[in-house]
Amino acid sequence: MFDKIRILVGYDESPQSRNAVKEAITIARCFSGFIKVVHVYGKGLEGKAKTAVIEVQEQLKTGEVEHEVSLVLGSNPGRALLTIAEQENFALIVVGSRGLGNTMSMLLGSVSKQIVADAHCNVLVVKD
């Protein structure tokens, strides 16, 4: 009757992004969904990024949901998530209300704000 819901989650190791993964797992389990977790990292930080997603990979396995974890080289996590969401036809983007941030996000606004403003699909912003 319904296709599996496709859920995209932005992950940056912050407590809010960890909570976003938990919420996405809950939704995916209720609606037989698929989760793709994306961690956007900066130039020269691929090793750190690989280590960062180990915990979330285990969390997804324990949650018993169909999933994929992806590392994306980039400087704008919001733009990367929006592009992936549209290109891969995700129905829901789940992000934390605040992330670890960097100078760029402080100057231009938060990633969650950018995603809410520009997403083609529904967005769930998870608070603390």
Strand arrangement of the beta sheet that strand 92-96 belongs to: 66-73, 34-41, 6-10, 92-96, 122-126
pLDDT tens digits, 76-106: 999 999 999 999 999 999 999 875 554 444 4
Domain tally, the chain:
1
What span, in angstroms and rounded, lies between the C-alpha atoms of 3 and 32? 9
CA distance 109 to 82: 15
96 part of a folded domain = yes
Q: What are the E-state strand segments in 17-121?
A: 34-41, 66-73, 92-96
Q: Does 52 reside within a domain?
A: yes
For all residues of the chain together, what is the average pLDDT? 89
**Residue 1 within a domain:** no
> Is residue 108 one of the residues assigned to a domain?
yes
Model-level pTM greater than 0.85? Answer: yes
Domain CATH code at residue 105: 3.40.50.620
